[in-house]
């Protein structure tokens, strides 16, 4: 029985599926050990054997319903020929944006540059047999933010700056959408059986721009994934009550709520969709009693819904691996 697929596609199943965004990552000592020996993050994402090992690390420890491929949303700008580096402090920095070079990158050029990502997926698929393997992409807007801003918008962001050259913005948006669809196809072909779309910076958009830069581009990608008969999960982080419009326009199979979304509001306002996540990753830094209360709160609120346990953003590096085990078991033992 595939509990996760049944839940995403809204079929009855017994038990609540559970996995964690960033379940492979810096909170795991076995990841940090590999990372120490591999200071170049992009190169690490292009090492099929290490991609396999890192992807499987959390599955070796915890009773999870899925693996998520170890990679990064910034492999798309990298594959399109923009320089991508992870500097000290783990912050990404991108090189000069050369529109013509990007537009002239053919599908073959792109695939050749990041082929090891797909080889890594094949390796994982061989090893985990018929377990779920989640492939992922960044949404067009979130990739545009990194490509034009060239650094995380956390510190330095101005919306007008991103859209001031409308011709560039529109051309880049089309190219990125097309490349995302290609990247999705290749991940599915290599063995991914669910796709998640991360629109991590959707919350930076003024409300009146959500339709153009968030809803429409996500809808294009979602329709493409649905046409392949593969379930799709969307994560339009930070858009507040606009989650309801997102859901009715984009119609993904599953929607991941962030930690700012009130779960009771979500239960009442997000219809005909399964819901994933929500719990603030900071809660996992508290003591087990507090964690249990908060986890059970989400499980109780969504007990009548198709619900997948996950967080409202990625696992924080300070999280103890034992906490992930504790939470996984809480979900597993929920009657």
Residues that bind ligand CP3 (CB under 6 A): 21-26, 35, 41, 68, 70-74, 86, 90-92, 136, 152, 198, 200, 314
The dihedral over CA atoms of 98, 101, 103, 106, expressed in degrees to the nearest 10, equals -150
Closest CB to ligand CP3 among 116 and 314?
Answer: 314
Q: How many helices (H) and strands (E) does the chain have?
A: 16, 9
Closest CB to ligand CP3 among 240 and 296?
Answer: 240
DSSP character string of 248-279? HHH--SEEE--TTS-HHHHHHH--SSEEE--B
State the minimum distance, in angstroms, from the CB of residue 282 to ligand CP3. 14
Which residue number places its CB atom closest to ligand CP3?
Answer: 200
Closest CB to ligand CP3 among 288 and 317?
Answer: 317
d(CA 241, CA 130): 37
Task: Please name every residue paired with 84 in a beta bridge, in sequence order, or none if there are none.
Answer: 94
At CA 74, angle to CA 196 and CA 270, rounded to 5?
25
Closest CB to ligand CP3 among 143 and 266?
Answer: 143
Residues 6+ apart with CB under 8 A from 304: none
State the minimum distance, in angstroms, from the CB of residue 55 to ligand CP3. 8
State the minimum distance, in angstroms, from the CB of residue 74 to ligand CP3. 5
Closest CB to ligand CP3 among 128 and 301?
Answer: 128
Q: How far is CA 216 from the centre of its chain?
A: 18
State the minimum distance, in angstroms, from the CB of residue 258 to ligand CP3. 9
State the minimum distance, in angstroms, from the CB of residue 155 to ligand CP3. 12
């Amino acid at each position: 029985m595939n509990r996760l697929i049944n839940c995403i596609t809204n079929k009855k199943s017994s038990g609540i599926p559970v996995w964690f965004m960033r379940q492979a990552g810096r909170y795991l000592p076995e990841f940090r050990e590999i990372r120490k020996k591999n200071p170049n993050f992009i190169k690490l994402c292009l090492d099929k054997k290490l991609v396999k090992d890192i992807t499987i690390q959390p599955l070796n420890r915890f009773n999870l319903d899925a693996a998520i491929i170890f990679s990064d949303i910034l492999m798309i700008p990298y594959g399109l020929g923009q320089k991508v580096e992870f500097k000290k402090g783990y912050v990404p920095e991108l090189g000069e944006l050369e529109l013509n070079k990007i537009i002239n990158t053919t599908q073959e050029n792109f695939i050749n540059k990041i082929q090891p990502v797909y080889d890594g997926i094949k390796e994982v698929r061989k090893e985990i047999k018929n377990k779920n393997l989640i492939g992922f992409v960044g949404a067009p807007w979130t990739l545009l933010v990194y490509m034009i801003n060239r650094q995380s918008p956390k510190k330095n962001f101005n919306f007008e700056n991103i859209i001031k050259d409308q011709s560039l913005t529109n051309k880049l948006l089309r190219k990125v959408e097309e490349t995302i669809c290609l990247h999705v196809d290749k991940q599915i072909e290599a063995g991914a059986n669910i796709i998640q779309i991360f629109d991590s910076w959707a919350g930076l958009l003024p409300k009146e721009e959500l339709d153009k830069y968030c809803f429409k581009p996500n809808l294009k990608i979602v329709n493409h994934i649905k046409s392949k008969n593969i379930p799709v999960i969307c994560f339009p982080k930070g858009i507040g009550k606009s989650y309801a419009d997102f859901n009715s326009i984009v119609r993904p199979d599953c929607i991941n709520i962030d930690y700012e979304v009130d779960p009771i509001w979500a239960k009442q306002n997000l219809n005909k969709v399964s819901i994933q996540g929500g719990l603030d990753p900071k809660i996992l830094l508290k003591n087990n009693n507090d964690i249990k209360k908060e986890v059970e709160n989400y499980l109780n609120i969504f007990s009548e819904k198709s619900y997948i346990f996950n967080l409202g953003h990625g696992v924080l590096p300070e999280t103890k691996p034992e906490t992930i085990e504790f939470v996984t078991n809480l979900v597993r033992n929920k009657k």
